[in-house]
Amino acid sequence: MKTYIVCQGRTEVQLLKKVLPLESTKNVEIVEGGGLYALKSLALSLIVRRQSPVVVVVDSDSVVPEQVQQRVRDIEELLSSLAANTPVKVIPAIPALESIFFYDVPLLTHLLDYAPTPDLLSQATYQPRKVLDQLIFQSKDIKNIAQLMDNLTEQDVATLRESRVIQELMEFLQSVQVTDEVLERSP
């Protein structure tokens, strides 16, 4: 059975395709949902029409735990209301998926070929996408986030996989694959 990962934008799709291990993405399709409303609509459509497992990776747009939990709860309640026995999960990227680049500052420094200032690193806690754009703009070698992703080595990717959002996503995909394998073996 195909599993769908629904995320907000094209950059998120590219990043997840780059970072997720190949074995985790067997029978997985990563799709762009657009804004929050469109993302929820697409996820609902996949659940109802395809009855396939769906995991939504959504930018929390906040670092306040109560606001993050509320966003997750609102989306989970909506999706679960129609999911029946279909596995559904909502994983918040706090505050945005680009924050995984700030998970390991030495890696980011290596990728950019210069050290970000402490002020920018502090600002990245709340605005990772904006700060990453600034850092890329200041880079001599990297021109955009796509080029930054293209320059990732296997070791770099392994480091990014250690971030909470990617770990949680890989765990969900693994659980769905195990369930599929059990169902395939059943008579």
Residue 107 pLDDT > 60, yes or no? yes
Cβ atoms 55, 91 nearer than 8 A? yes
Sheet with 28-32, strands from edge to edge, namely: 28-32, 3-7, 54-59, 88-93
Kindly indicate the confidence band of residue 161, based on its pLDDT and cuts at 50, 70 and 90.
Answer: very high
**Residue of 60, 103, 86, 76 lying closest to 1 (CA atoms):** 86
Q: Which region, left, alpha or beta, applies to residue 84 given φ > 0 means left and ψ of -120 to 50 means alpha?
A: left
- CA Rg value for the chain: 17
Once rounded to an integer, what is the mean pLDDT over residues 164-168?
A: 97
Q: Is the pLDDT of residue 120 over 90?
A: yes
Residue 183 has pLDDT above 90, yes or no: no
How far apart (Å, rounded) are the C-alpha atoms in residues 79 and 47? 8
Indicate yes or no: pTM above 0.75.
yes
Taking only the tens place, the pLDDT of each residue in 140-158 is: 999 999 999 999 999 999 9
- CA-based angle 107:108:110, to the nearest 5? 65
Number of helices followed by number of strands (H, E) in the chain = 9, 4
In this predicted structure, the answer to whether residue 166 has a pLDDT above a threshold of 60 is yes
pLDDT tens track for 4-48: 999 999 999 999 999 999 988 989 999 999 999 999 999 999 999
